[in-house]
Amino acid sequence: MDADEEVLDLRFEPGKPQDRYVAPLSKGGEAIALVSRPKTELMIVHWVGVPPEYRGRGVARRFMGKIVDEARKGGFKLLPYCSYAAAVLRRSPEWHDVLSGAPTR
């Protein structure tokens, strides 16, 4: 099974102090991103994770693609505090339209 098939539907779960994006994975487990929205037009990506058995297979990148899609739909710019999110966004020119101009950590 390729990475495109493994990340299922994305759902948003509001919370305090951080919201979550969660996507069930086809073989069990979930991909999770912790985010916050300090301003109407900004979404901070604090952390992105997938279970260990999915690492190195493109699943986290596919999950980030779904978050990018959500940012585009909502009119948000992404500010990645998570080192993985920062790296994958920088390496993906097709996603630079949603990358905030603010420095990443």
Nearest Cα residue to 86 out of 77, 97, 78: 78
Which residues face 33 on adjacent strands?
Answer: 21, 48
Q: Using DSSP, state whether 85 is helix, strand or coil.
A: helix
Domains within the chain, CATH numbers bracketed: 3-98 (3.40.630.30)
20: pLDDT strictly greater than 90: yes
Q: What is the pLDDT of residue 3?
A: 45
Which of 16-30, 76-90, 91-105 is predicted with the least confidence, judged by mean pLDDT?
91-105
Q: Are 23 and 61 in contact (CB under 8 A)?
A: no
Per the structure block, which two tokens stand in for 104? 């990443």
Q: What is the pLDDT of residue 38?
A: 87
Nearest Cα residue to 84 out of 75, 54, 72: 54
28: pLDDT strictly greater than 90: no
Structure confidence by residue, pLDDT tens digits, 57-82: 888 998 899 899 999 999 999 999 99
